[in-house]
Structure 1
Amino acid sequence: MSSAGRQAQPPLEFLPPTYNPAVRWGFAQLLPLWMRWQMGLEQIEGVHLERLVQAYEQFQQGQARILLAFRHPSTDDPLCMGYLLWHLVPRQARQMGIKLKYPIHSYFLYDRGIPLWAGDGVGWLFGKLGGSSIMRGKLDTQALRAARELLVQGEFPLAAAPEGATNNQSELVSPLEPGIAQMGFWCLEDLVKAGRPEEVLIIPIGIQYSLLKPSWDKLGQVLRQLETQSGCQPPTQAQDPESLYQRLFHLATHLLSIIEKFYLASYQITMPELPPCQGANQELGTRLKRLLNIVLQVAEEFFGIKPSENLVDRCRKVEQAAWERMFRQDLEQLSPVERGFANWLVQEAELRLRHMRLAERFTSITGQYVREKTSPDRFAEVLFILARTLCWIEDKPQPDSLFLGPRRVCLTVAPAIPLRDYWPNYQENRRQARQIVQTVTAKIGQSYAEIIASQTD
């Protein structure tokens, strides 16, 4: 949160799309250079692009409405989606001899909190590119109504990420939220009521990053930086993959011990005993889950939130509770003294929010990701998570020395999921509808798993 957030602010407003064709065109021209020089993405590939070309042809002919459900491993994903639609799909359409109306574009949903940490300029740009904000921690009815309207009447398809947030792991899918499937059925419901015959297609799109020139030596150098930064003495200085894995595991347990010690000493917490574990990796994963529960409890107790089972949901509830103290509905009615106390609450909320941010960075860590497949790419992803977290704790920018070399990104288009196939069962009753939404959400997840398997064979 920026320093501007240390005083109570008016309520966060919904940010609607304010699409501007000139801004989109200019950004599309700059994007290839930006991705190469600022993001280190030197190779951008598309797989099964013909599926997206055919879907856009159906959309433009009034035969279908489309939801693009893209994977979300990285904050780079929205720009990769832009490159896919603005450059790769038009090229593929020309190769197929299909004349699509330009521009090939989509509206998209983004977290309302992004402009708070990325700046108002990003919020402005997102709006001009067709972005529509949504709050993750509550039922944002205004945002959902806007998304529903875009789906039914919008000039372009709508893109959103079912994972809701990044996990920085290309080969591990976070639990999917049902909102994408639900919005698709709402769109179909509106079409049926209006007597419109269009199909509603959900198109899963996988996004997978990899190093173009993976180097265990470079990974070892970065690992050594993190060992020094955290005061960790490595068990070995060897640079072979297995030795580097042992060092990474040692670093992870060392950091876990530091954080456990901090919370035990600072918040008078009783650490529950670990259940029996099979092997060191399972013990690491179990310790991490126990720690995340404790970290979130520190924030939840302050805000008076009753914990739920799902870690991601708990993070969202803490974030929303903090925002309710930072962005006040009653701000104009407060006296100067009352505003002073409101500012106190903001500062306390910001501190408690940091506990949630710490937990958020580790919710996708399993303790098994690298052990299951000790590849340079998985190793690099976990190093990135640890490096970013250490720098965040110290309130320092991530050094350029942590750059691991040029990368490749592959965007894979899965077969479309037609929702009219599910419509007869969906409309029977509410319980049946919830089950159908879960079924479609699981099918999206299955598509992601198949894409990952095809890329890693």
Structure 2
Amino acid sequence: MVNLITNIQPTLDFIPPNFNPFVLKICQWGIPFWIKWKTPLVEIKGEKVERLVNLYQQFQSGKIRFLLAFRHPNTDDPFCMSQLLWRFVPETAKQQGIALSDPIHAHFMYDRGIPLWAGQFVTWLFPKLGGTSILRGKVDRLGLRSARDLFLTGQFPLAAAPEGATNGHNQSISPLEPGIAQLGFWCVEDLEKAERTEEVYLVPIGIQYFYIQDNWQDLERLISQLEKDCNLPQKTEELTTQSLYGRLMRLGNYLLDTMENFYRQFYHRSIPQDETLDFSERLKRLLDIALTVAEEYFNLKPTGDLNSRCRRLEQAGWDCIYRYNLKGNDNWSVVELGLADRVAIEASLRMWNMRLVESFVAVTGRYIRENPTFDRFAETTLIVWRMINQLKGNTSIKPPNLGKKRAKLTVGEPISVSQKWSDYQTNRRQAVANLTQDLQNALEQMIEY
């Protein structure tokens, strides 16, 4: 289900930002061609971009600092954000007769794990574009210090995805991580210490994708392929949303039955057959069991929501795998290296339980039923496809293309962190929670149904 790691790896050191304007110019030129070549996007539009123009004007005048908190439904989001900043903001500013200094760009935070699967080029590229890495499964002091410094003194605003990871859903937002709100308050605090007067904002950015056409035939063929993978009999009934929903539910129930039996037989879990549980309740129970299996191996307590448990498990696995100091400070014997390799293999194997959950944290079992559109059918079917291909061992295969898409980016009303500073001074934890909820509400209000 994952690419098995067979030996210990170099430590996951912090990757500091190293902005290079020449690299930025190359990307600004090349990204539009990459979008046409490598993504299904045929149209990207921005709404209320004038808000961002005003913010950049104030930022460049030294009046404000701000963080772009963008939605993260899928892996094409960075391309959309690039067009918002590099294209739409300058165009809108020109239309309004507002002179902005070039370039219009943003520093950004990215998960330290991304270079592990994206490769050496991304490891080199992200710092050159002003990105700063962060380990999300533990207190990454270097990563947090870098992000905090960029928010306070960076040449550009800061950008981050408060959901933390993609959830595959355009019309459902995962619970936001509190770190973005905390960074906002830290920036206010740092400005006060430096006796500076800038106001601090969080700017919600909605990102949403829509299929240009409802390609029901292609969707039905994909469902048929998934049924073959699961050895389920093929259906020949009339193609309707009701029939497709029934087939998806049959696939879902088959996978639930199979995975419950898997954990009963091979991990000795007591999972009672309960006819009263609906699909969403069974799924929630299965995901909890999968995480518990991994948590027991890594000796972790099952605290927090599914997302936070996944992140802690990922970090625990990385701590077992990425241990070798390339600078030569570690004096390993051959025996110690052999044992360390076995620990890395075991950790890599145990982490697949977490990867299973990671794909399904946003699945509720109600998403299609509440609004049976082609977009929701496609999103859910692709999540099922991803899980089945992980179980088959096809971890690097490209997802099937169900049609061309358009993307809409909406700049939300800026949220002043400075105005909430007194609340933070009174009760820090509650102030962070309230600001996080304000940001969640703002992102949800921008969703087009």
The yes-or-no answer on 1:300 pairing with 2:298 is no
TM-score by length of 1: 0.94
For 2:240 and 2:37, locate their aligned partners in 1 and report how far apart those are by CA, in whole Å: 30
The structural deviation recorded for 1:329 is 6.5
Map residues 61-210 of structure 1 onto 2, 5 A cutoff. 61-210=61-210
SS of residue in 1 equivalent to 2:284: helix
Contact 2:8 2:324 in 1 (8 A): no
- Structure with greater helix percent: 1
- The corresponding residue for 2:387 is 389
Deviation at 1:232, TM superposition (A): 2.0
CA distance in 2, matches of 1:209, 1:162: 18
The structure, 1 or 2, with the larger RCO (C-alpha pairs under 8 Å, 6+ apart) is: 2
Q: Equivalent pairs: percent with the same residue?
A: 46
Once the two structures are superposed, the pairs formed by residues 46-65 of structure 1 within 5 Å of their partners are 46-65=46-65
**Residue in structure 2 matching 1:333, options 328, 331, 334:** 331
Which residue of the partner structure matches residue 430 of structure 2? 435
**Per-residue deviation, residues 34-70 of structure 1 (Å, max 9, x unmatched):** 1122111001011111111111111001010010000
Code of the residue aligned with 1:174 in structure 2: it is S
Give the number of equivalent residue pairs.
445
Confirm whether residue 288 of structure 1 aligns to residue 283 of structure 2. yes
- Is the 1:2–1:116 contact (alpha carbons within 8 Å) kept by the matching residues of 2? no
Say if 2:313 and 2:354, in contact at 8 Å, map to a contact too. yes
Separation of aligned partners in 2, 1:358 and 1:160: 25
- Contact 1:236/1:243, CA 8 A, preserved across alignment: no
Counterpart CA distance in 1 for 2:123 and 2:79 is 14
Displacement of 1:14: 0.2
- When residues 376 and 190 of structure 1 are mapped into structure 2, their CA distance, relative to the original with a 3 A threshold, is same
Question: Is the 2:202–2:417 Cα contact (8 Å) retained in structure 1?
Answer: yes
Summarize deviations over 1:138-174 as a string: whole Å, max 9, x none.
0101100001100110000000011011101010000
Using the TM superposition, name which of 206-215 and 224-233 deviates more: 224-233
Please state how far the C-alpha of 1:235 moved relative to its aligned partner. Answer: 5.6
- In the alignment, structure 1 segments of 5+ residues that lack a partner are 278-282
SS of structure 1 residue aligned to 2:43:
strand
SS at match of 2:205: strand
Structure 1 CA distance for aligned equivalents of residues 254 and 14 of structure 2: 43
Superposed CA deviations along residues 158-212 of structure 1, whole A, max 9, x for unmatched, are 0001101110101000011110010011001011111111000100001101101
**Could you tell me whether the CA contact under 8 Å between 1:105 and 1:156 is conserved in 2?**
yes
| Whole-Å separation in 1 of the counterparts to 2:234 and 2:94 | 54
Structure 2 unpaired stretches of 5+: none
Residue 359 (structure 1) aligns with: 357
* Equivalent-residue separation in structure 2 for 1:284 and 1:68 (angstroms): 36
What is the 5 A alignment of 1:366-381? 366-381=364-379
- Amino acid in structure 2 at the alignment position of 1:29: W
Contact 1:236 1:247 in 2 (8 A): no
Match of 2:410 among 379, 395, 412: 412
Q: Distance in 2 between matches of 1:249 and 1:235?
A: 13
For 2:130 and 2:399, how far apart are their aligned partners in 1? 35
1:237 and 2:232 are equivalent in the alignment: no
Q: Provide the C-alpha distance between the structure 2 equivalents of 1:237 and 1:357, rounded to a whole number of angstroms.
A: 35
**Whole-Å Cα distance in 1 between the matches of residues 273 and 98 of structure 2?**
63
- 1:444 maps to 439
Shift in Å, 1:272? 4.2
| Alpha-carbon distance in structure 2 between the residues aligned to 1:152 and 1:100 | 20
Conserved in 2, the CA contact under 8 Å of 1:18 and 1:129? yes
Give 1:245's aligned amino acid: Y
Question: Partners of 1:444 and 1:191 in 2: how far apart?
Answer: 22
Q: Secondary structure at the match of 1:328?
A: strand
List 4+ stretches of structure 1 deviating above 4 A: 272-277, 397-401
Cα distance in 2 for partners of 1:324, 1:128 equals 27
In 2 relative to 1, CA 87–134 (structure 1 residues): closer, same or farther, beyond 3 Å?
A: same
- Greater shift after overlay, 286-295 or 385-394? 385-394
Matched residue, 1:263: 263
Higher mean displacement: 323-332 or 294-303: 323-332
CA–CA distance in 1 between the matches of 2:397 and 2:194? 55
Structure 1 residues 201-210 or 296-305, which shifts more?
Answer: 296-305
The answer to whether the 8 Å contact 1:234/1:247 transfers is no
